[in-house]
């Protein structure tokens, strides 16, 4: 699944890094940005849930017409867990997913339905051939058009799907090559001390749930805003 949209000509488009249940912090950050829900849009790079205190608020956010998110590995773990995969359930709980099991059955099923609707990628076009892509971890084979085609026709290999959800190679190596087919690719997944660009790939996960900060990035003018985390302690990343 992929969501294709045109560039916002009525307001501003913003993207946010991994939220991980820090929705109250996100609300404050949007106020700082003077976000206008009547004309602005917000894009999430995925991993909206787990570890943070307000993960259950994800359902309310996903109902907002101005909020668009790609699927992250934590949403995928939640899906697999709710579909009865016991190993996925153990892994999910061990990585901050216990909030989901504590929900009433109706809310758990609502989360399952909402997460299953999430696309693996979002493409935002400007009408003149330029594109910005959004995916959780990375673009397989550095080929955006191939990723889009595979998602549209249902032929994307499992290995490519895993790259989109789980890959950390670019962030760990500090490079990975230019992704063709997009001017800029927005990702998260691997926490950075600040928004970090590798070639034309911008990682917006700045470790909010680990004591880092939550970061917004404006697609219109490339303005970046960050708010220090409410979480206490040092920014220690648990990469699973």
| Cα gap 200→15, rounded to integer Å | 16
Half-sphere exposure of 77 (CA within 13 A, CB side): 25
> What pLDDT is stored for residue 129 in this prediction?
75
The four Cα atoms 45, 170, 126, 64 give a dihedral, to 10 degrees, of 0
* 188 neighbors 209 (Cβ within 8 angstroms): no
Q: What is the pLDDT along the chain (240 residues), one digit of tens a residue?
A: 999 999 999 999 999 999 999 999 999 999 999 999 999 999 999 999 999 999 999 999 999 999 999 999 999 999 999 999 999 999 999 999 999 999 999 999 999 999 999 999 999 998 777 899 999 999 999 999 999 999 999 999 999 999 999 999 999 898 899 999 999 999 999 999 999 999 999 999 999 999 999 999 999 989 999 998 775 444 444 444
Q: pTM of the entire structure?
A: 0.93
Taken in order of first residue, the domains within the chain and their CATH numbers are 2-227 (3.60.21.10)
The answer to whether the Cα torsion of 171, 72, 220, 195 is positive or negative is: negative
Q: Which of 20, 68, 74, 136 is catalytic?
A: 74
| Cα gap 93→81, rounded to integer Å | 9
- 79-to-43, 110, 214 alpha-carbon distances in Å: 21, 11, 25
* 115 neighbors 69 (Cβ within 8 angstroms): no
Residue 74 among the catalytic residues: yes
């Amino acid at each position: 699944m992929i969501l294709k949209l045109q560039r916002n000509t009525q307001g501003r488009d913003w993207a946010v890094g991994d939220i991980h249940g820090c929705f109250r912090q996100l609300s404050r950050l949007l106020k700082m940005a003077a976000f206008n829900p009547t004309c602005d849009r917000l894009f999430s790079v995925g991993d909206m849930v787990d570890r943070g205190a307000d993960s259950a608020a994800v359902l309310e956010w996903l109902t907002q017409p101005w909020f668009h998110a790609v699927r992250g590995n934590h949403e995928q773990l939640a899906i697999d867990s709710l579909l009865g995969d016991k190993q996925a359930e153990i892994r999910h709980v061990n990585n901050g997913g216990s909030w989901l099991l504590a929900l009433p059955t109706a809310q758990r099923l609502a989360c399952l339905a909402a997460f299953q609707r999430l696309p693996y990628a979002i493409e935002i076009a400007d009408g003149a051939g330029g594109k910005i892509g959004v995916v959780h971890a990375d673009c397989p084979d550095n080929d955006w058009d191939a990723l889009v085609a595979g998602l549209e026709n249902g032929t994307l290999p499992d290995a490519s799907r895993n790259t989109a959800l789980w890959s950390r190679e670019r962030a760990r190596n500090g490079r990975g090559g230019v992704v063709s087919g997009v001017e800029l690719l927005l990702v998260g997944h691997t926490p950075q001390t600040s928004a970090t660009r590798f070639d034309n790939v911008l990682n917006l996960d700045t470790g909010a749930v680990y004591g880092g900060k939550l970061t917004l990035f404006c697609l219109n003018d490339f303005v970046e805003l960050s708010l220090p985390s409410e979480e206490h302690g040092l920014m220690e990343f648990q990469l699973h």
